[in-house]
Structure 1
Amino acid sequence: MKFLLNISLLLLTVSQAVFAQEKKAWTLDDCLTYATENNITIKASEFDKQSAEVTYTQSKYSRFPSLSASAQQNMNNGTSIDPITSNFVTQMVHSTSLGVTAQVTLYNGNYINNTIKQNELLIRQNEFFVSEAKNSIILSVTQAYLQALYYKEGITVAENAVASSQEQVNQANTKFKAGSLAGIEVANLQTQLSNDQYSVVTAKNNYRQQLITLKQLLELEPGAEFEVATPELPDSKIIIPDLQQVYQTAVAAMPEVKSAKLQTDIATYDLKKAKAGYLPTLSLYAGLNTGYTNTQSYNFSAQLDNNFYQTAGLSLSVPIFSKYQNKGAVEQAKITIEQSKLTAKSTSKQLYLKIESAWQNAVSVQSEMQAAEALQASSKMAYEMAQKKSELGSLSATDLLVSKNTYQTAQQQYLQTKFSSALYYQLLQFYQGNAIKI
């Protein structure tokens, strides 16, 4: 019995530990690490990179000769040419042909070398695509995480409002029973309590919905337990970096800018490959061949030895008229180069607009946060004074509710500016190449 009791206690301890682990609150760093390792978009971009590496390896092997073996069994009847002896015969001919052939391109306008160099650049570009996918999910997770924190703190604010309203209703009921407070005052306070309780429900629903959004970004299972940790956010006195400095750092580091610039180099190799179509192609080929035919009296092995012969030669192909194929390919490649240059300029411009928007918002929100912080402090003081007056019977319930609503609005404004400030500050840190940390 004692043994079974010990086992039961052990299982209970383990289950509690597992449950506690499942309910572990996720920090932003936890979310970012998990997302970059499990997000489907990032994995897809990594597969694209692996595909580019395979293509690059294939292009390098195109420098080597091709080697193939062949075997053919023929049967001819009537007057025909013996495929082995090349004699005219009038009989049923059974023949076997065996051969090995090798071919290598010696020159084709440097097409192979340019293809190899282009595919090497495509690997680098796909590495930038992987980094770009990671950056995108990092920004999305950061924004979703901060939004979840905002809703989470909103629950606390709403629950505090309910507690305050409940206390006021209790006091009002006591005064009403004593005949020192009108029924309408009690009804107004009761209405406010119901509104505050509804606000709690709304706040919790908003938080749960935001957790679903965050779980989707993390690729978590729908039924997985998930909760976010509550960190300390920076205050309103954070130092906002210089706009131009942020942009200069970002334009030299962001993978989307590097990828767009690299696309011009990739398109340049398309032009070189297209121009190769105007140039001749020189190839070397060689072969080993033998065969057997029933028209000869030798046995099979002897015929394979007697009919053995070797071939070797050069093949030159000179383009004369390609029905506008080569010229069209060259013109298309030139257009692609110009388009890639425009794309690179547009990418840098879009990056500047994102950074400028984040910088302007950071500056504006910082001022708003300072004002909201002062408003929250003053409205809190006013509300506390109103509560004392209400307790003494020198303030109506209506005036108390006005003061309370003013304080709640100030709290919401402060929360909004606090989390917005944290978001824009982290964006600026991200564009400077710094890790996002909250």
Structure 2
Amino acid sequence: MKNFILLIVLLTVLHSYGQAYEEQNKLWSLEECINYAIGHNITVKNAELTKNSSELNYAQSKSSRLPNLTGSASQNLSFGTTIDNITSDYVSQTTNSTNLGLSSSVMLYNGNQLNNQVKQNKLVVDQSTLYIKESKNSIILNVLESYIQALYTKENIMIALRNLESSEKELEQAKARLDAGTIPMVDYTDAQSQAATNKYNLITAKNNYQQQLLVLKQLLELPPEQSFEIDTIKNYTESLLIQDKLEIYQKALEVLPEIEATEVGVDISKKDLEIAKGGFLPSLSLTGSLGSGYTDVQDMNFSDQLDFNFNQRIGLSLSIPIFNRNQTKTQVENAKINIRKAELQLETTKKELYQKIETAWQNAISSQEQLLASKSARDATKESYKLAQKKYELNALSTTDLVVSQNTYTNAEINYLQAKYLNILYSQLLQFYQGNPIKID
């Protein structure tokens, strides 16, 4: 039995260790980063709380159309000559009385203000839902940009590492030739300088990557103690097909929440106007009450008095606005101004969206052209560098010329990397603006 228990404990420990190891060595994909950021972002959580509050206000406004019900009870002790509040007689003695009652009222009509308030609060709920989506979209874009920047810096490490390995090998060759007396000292020092420079570049590339990982980790709001590493792109294909920017814009108007949220804002302002206009109209309410009481002045027991003094009341109350110092008129005019402001905000939101799409579209076109040009330059300088290495091995090329060839190839590779990841970024942005999911394999 003891062995069985020990086995269970051992398996549990190994399982927990395995999970911890897997978590520590996890490679985060873009999709995982986005999902985690959305689930843990404080801005999104605040937007969700705002929606919860607007839902409560909506439920409360619907309840405002229902009758209220209030119960009351009082116990009174009177001295001297007073009016008995049950019999309405003058008495000159100490009296003890009890009053019990129920009252209710309901608004039958108030210029349709209650109904319009309910409709407006429903619009506020809809708008708060759209604000949540907008907050999530903002997080998605921030994570996308940061993730792609991290991928770029990560791939720069591979370039820097390859350059360092090549320059160290060339330094060994230069040392052997210097010892053999086939090259001057200046060629050897050039090789030393290039190796040292490449080592520095590798350190810088690693630091840039760690800095970008830190930015992304903070954006995800991961705990400080958690390790974090991103996955690489395994199936990269160049995005060369770009739709017309007006088509993208028209699609964005249909799917992006910030546009719909601003449109709902216009509708909310229009409801404000209807509510304000309701102030010009009469209001009608229905009231009713039940009551009874007991007093020691009457020569009846408590229960008999409650039956005898039981009373009921029902009434209608009509309020007709005649003049309220132009308060309603001012509210109506302010509501009209707010409608116009909301309409201008909608125009501004649409213009800003078009500017974002136009900028992303132009950058996508430019990055596409840069990608094709830099790819050709990279391939050409790569072949040139290979030839330079062969010449250097045959002692037919100076160290200085080899360094120039390597630097030219490195610059071409970096230019290609920049164009590659800009192409990914802006093509994904254009997909996002059309409501398509962001995905990088």
Fold match (TM-score > 0.5): yes
Q: What is the SS of the residue equivalent to 1:352?
A: helix
Are 2:239 and 2:427, in contact at CA under 8 Å, matched by a contact in 1?
no
**Alpha-carbon separation, structure 2, partners of 1:233 and 1:245:** 28
Confirm or deny that 1:318 pairs with 2:334. no
Q: How does 1:39-438 map to 2 (within 5 A)?
A: 39-232=41-234, 234-236=236-238, 238-438=240-440
Are 1:52 and 1:123, in contact at CA under 8 Å, matched by a contact in 2?
yes
Q: Hey, what does 1:22 align to over in structure 2?
A: 24
Q: How far is 1:83 from its partner?
A: 1.8
Read off the aligned partner of 1:22 and give its amino acid letter. Q
Are 2:239 and 2:423, in contact at CA under 8 Å, matched by a contact in 1?
no
| Comparing 142-151 and 2-11, the one that deviates more | 2-11
Q: Deviations over 1:158-195 (max 9, x none)?
A: 11111111111111111112222222222222222222
Are 1:84 and 1:292, in contact at CA under 8 Å, matched by a contact in 2?
yes
| Comparing 32-41 and 371-380, the one that deviates more | 32-41
Provide the TM-score with structure 2 as the length reference.
0.94
**Alpha-carbon separation, structure 2, partners of 1:336 and 1:420:** 41
Instruction: Report the aligned-residue RMSD.
Output: 2.1
Are 1:236 and 1:370, in contact at CA under 8 Å, matched by a contact in 2?
no
Q: How far is 1:11 from its partner?
A: 4.7
| Comparing 194-203 and 104-113, the one that deviates more | 194-203
Q: How far is 1:391 from its partner?
A: 2.0
Read off the aligned partner of 2:219 and give its amino acid letter. L
Are 1:284 and 1:314, in contact at CA under 8 Å, matched by a contact in 2?
yes
Read off the aligned partner of 2:141 and give its amino acid letter. L
Q: How far is 1:108 from its partner?
A: 0.3
Q: What is the SS of the residue equivalent to 2:71?
A: strand
Read off the aligned partner of 2:167 and give its amino acid letter. S
Q: Hey, what does 2:36 align to over in structure 1?
A: 34
Cα gap change, 1:334/1:87 in structure 2, threshold over 3 Å: closer, same or farther?
same
Are 2:151 and 2:232, in contact at CA under 8 Å, matched by a contact in 1?
yes
Q: How far is 1:320 from its partner?
A: 2.0
**Alpha-carbon separation, structure 2, partners of 1:285 and 1:145:** 64
**Alpha-carbon separation, structure 2, partners of 1:186 and 1:366:** 41
Give unmatched runs, 5+ long, in structure 1: none
Q: How far is 1:319 from its partner?
A: 1.6
Q: What is the SS of the residue equivalent to 1:80?
A: strand
Q: How far is 1:78 from its partner?
A: 2.3
**Alpha-carbon separation, structure 2, partners of 1:62 and 1:203:** 64
Q: Deviations over 1:180-237 (max 9, x none)?
A: 2222222222222222112112111211121122222222212112111111364445
Cα gap change, 1:13/1:166 in structure 2, threshold over 3 Å: closer, same or farther?
farther
Q: How far is 1:352 from its partner?
A: 0.6
Q: What is the SS of the residue equivalent to 1:96?
A: strand
Q: What is the SS of the residue equivalent to 1:21?
A: helix
**Alpha-carbon separation, structure 1, partners of 2:239 and 2:354:** 25
**Alpha-carbon separation, structure 1, partners of 2:61 and 2:291:** 30
**Alpha-carbon separation, structure 1, partners of 2:11 and 2:163:** 42
**Alpha-carbon separation, structure 1, partners of 2:11 and 2:44:** 44
Read off the aligned partner of 1:290 and give its amino acid letter. S
Give unmatched runs, 5+ long, in structure 2: none
Are 1:233 and 1:422, in contact at CA under 8 Å, matched by a contact in 2?
no
Are 2:239 and 2:424, in contact at CA under 8 Å, matched by a contact in 1?
no
Q: How far is 1:37 from its partner?
A: 2.5
Q: How far is 1:21 from its partner?
A: 3.4
Read off the aligned partner of 2:209 and give its amino acid letter. Y
**Alpha-carbon separation, structure 2, partners of 1:280 and 1:14:** 71
Are 2:110 and 2:282, in contact at CA under 8 Å, matched by a contact in 1?
yes
**Alpha-carbon separation, structure 2, partners of 1:347 and 1:237:** 28
**Alpha-carbon separation, structure 1, partners of 2:7 and 2:314:** 88
Provide the TM-score with structure 1 as the length reference.
0.95
Q: Deviations over 1:103-148 (max 9, x none)?
A: 0001100011111111111121112111111111111111111111
Cα gap change, 1:109/1:34 in structure 2, threshold over 3 Å: closer, same or farther?
same
Query: How many corresponding residue pairs?
Result: 438
